[in-house]
């Protein structure tokens, strides 16, 4: 199997479907490191060579695991990692940190864990609004000049932040949540990216598993991160099944799975906006890597796109329930946070 390629901003050439490695360090249920490594190798074998990690995932273990993949396959992979969050995802103690001294410290720690000399795409993971975006991107540009990083990316930035950052150094990609049930980036950020020639990397493109239709019983995720999200609880969880039913119905028309329809929908949004869009679904299972990669060949009809458009406006619950109001671009964009 081969996976097609896409060129993001700043000439960064990646597989058209990437692999998000976060969940192979146990965010959505337990994960075995040896099985996770086998899944990563399988992804690269299948041409899914754009691998996404972050210093915060698994408290550093995720980068160490990806480092084991890279030990003999560095040249086959477009490696993306991120910095800018301190604390722990598992303990929900995350805080954003963007000061230039921290940037210099974070890159060296990531390079050491990954056991590489250069990172292909280095993202700012979260905005710390006490530091001007120009200052943090300036410090990131110094890493490009030093040869430690090839391209720069930004996660959860507003359109205005992206515009200001891109004036300091070309930005290859914005990574923010985007899927059939999380569409706020379409208001301003994605059009700004399209206008600037910046690519888009939707995270949680399968709605943290919800959009795959495999999560019918809340008991199966009662012990993981998703149990804390309103969209996954009670009446909201039940109401949001309407989106899954639509994905399943469209999948039946096309001979595809709900996950494949959800990923093809994202690519269709990219076509509509004139924006290179490369989703990074994550999975612990090799067979699902193949299933997700095969979505690159799937094309939805206008009527199918209209059906999903209508339903996505009816989603119940916010995409983020985190206690920091600056955590997502959505709240800053709408002026709902203290720092905006
Ligand atoms: N920048 C940020 O702030 C940010 C935030 C969140 C995520 N991310 C990145 O985005 C990546 C993807 O997001 P995500 O992991 O949150 O969510 P996701 O990719 O939307 O969903 C992952 C979940 O879907 C399941 N899954 C994957 N493919 C499937 C398929 N074909 N059929 C059925 N179930 C399937 C996986 O379970 P199994 O393992 O059981 O297959 C997993 O629980 C992360 O790994 C991370 O790299 C970035």
CB 193 within 8 A of CB 186: no
Query: Helix or strand or coil: residue 172?
Result: strand
Q: What is the DSSP string of 199-232?
A: EEEEESTTGGGGGGT----GGGGTTSGGGGSGGG
Report the separation in Å between the CA atom of 135 and the middle of ligand 1, taken as the mean of its atom positions.
31
Report the separation in Å between the CA atom of 113 and the middle of ligand 1, taken as the mean of its atom positions.
22
- The per-residue pLDDT for range 37-87, each reduced to its tens digit, is 999 999 999 999 999 999 999 999 999 999 999 999 999 999 999 999 999
Question: Tokens representing 90?
Answer: 């598992």
Question: Given a cut of 50, is residue 339 above it in pLDDT?
Answer: no
288 lines ligand 1 (CB under 6 A): yes
Question: Given a cut of 70, is residue 338 above it in pLDDT?
Answer: no
Residue of the CA atom closest to atom 48 of ligand 1: 203
Domains of the chain: 5-333 (3.20.20.100)
Is 28 catalytic? The answer is no
Question: Given a cut of 50, is residue 340 above it in pLDDT?
Answer: no
Mean residue pLDDT of the chain comes to 95
Pocket test for ligand 1, best of 14, 18, 22 (most atoms within 8 A of CB): 22
326 lines ligand 1 (CB under 6 A): no
CB 131 within 8 A of CB 90: no
**pLDDT-derived band of residue 266, with 50, 70 and 90 as boundaries?**
very high
Predicted local confidence at residue 337, as pLDDT = 63
Predicted local confidence at residue 335, as pLDDT = 84
Mean pLDDT across 316-326: 87
213 lines ligand 1 (CB under 6 A): no
- The per-residue pLDDT for range 125-163, each reduced to its tens digit, is 999 999 999 999 999 999 999 999 999 999 999 999 999
Report the separation in Å between the CA atom of 91 and the middle of ligand 1, taken as the mean of its atom positions.
19
The pTM for the full model equals 0.97
Question: Given a cut of 80, is residue 277 above it in pLDDT?
Answer: yes
Tell the residue number behind the tokens 């700004």, with chain if given: 192
């Amino acid at each position: 199997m081969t996976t097609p390629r896409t060129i993001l901003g700043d000439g960064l050439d990646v597989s058209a479907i990437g692999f998000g490695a976060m969940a192979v360090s146990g965010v959505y249920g337990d994960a075995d490191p040896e099985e996770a490594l086998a899944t990563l190798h399988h992804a690269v074998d299948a041409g899914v060579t754009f691998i996404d990690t972050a210093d915060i995932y698994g408290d550093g273990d995720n980068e160490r695991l990806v480092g084991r993949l890279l030990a003999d396959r560095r040249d086959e992979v477009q490696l993306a990692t991120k910095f800018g969050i301190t604390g722990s995802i598992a303990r929900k103690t995350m805080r954003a940190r963007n000061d230039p001294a921290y940037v210099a410290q974070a890159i060296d720690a990531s390079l050491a864990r990954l056991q590489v000399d250069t990172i292909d795409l280095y993202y700012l993971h979260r905005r710390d609004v006490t530091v001007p975006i120009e200052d943090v991107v300036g410090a990131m540009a110094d890493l490009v000049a030093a040869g430690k990083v090839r391209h720069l990316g930004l996660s959860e930035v507003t359109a205005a932040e992206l515009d200001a950052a891109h004036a300091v150094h070309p930005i290859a990609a914005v990574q923010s949540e985007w899927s059939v049930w999380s569409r706020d980036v379409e208001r301003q950020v994605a059009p700004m990216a399209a206008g600037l020639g910046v690519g888009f990397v939707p995270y949680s493109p399968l709605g943290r598993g919800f959009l795959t239709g495999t999560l019918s019983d809340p008991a199966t995720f009662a012990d993981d991160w998703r149990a804390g999200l309103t969209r996954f609880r009670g009446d909201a969880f039940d109401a949001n099944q309407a989106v899954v039913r639509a994905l399943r119905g469209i999948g039946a028309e096309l001979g595809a799975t709900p996950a494949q329809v959800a990923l093809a929908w994202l690519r269709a949004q990219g076509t509509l906006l004139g924006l290179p869009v490369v989703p990074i679904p994550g999975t612990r299972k090799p067979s699902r890597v193949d299933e997700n990669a095969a979505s690159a060949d799937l094309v939805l009809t206008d009527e199918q796109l209209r059906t999903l458009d209508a339903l996505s406006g009816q989603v119940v619950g916010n995409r983020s329930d985190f206690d920091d109001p600056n955590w997502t671009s959505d709240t800053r964009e709408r002026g709902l946070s203290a720092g905006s």
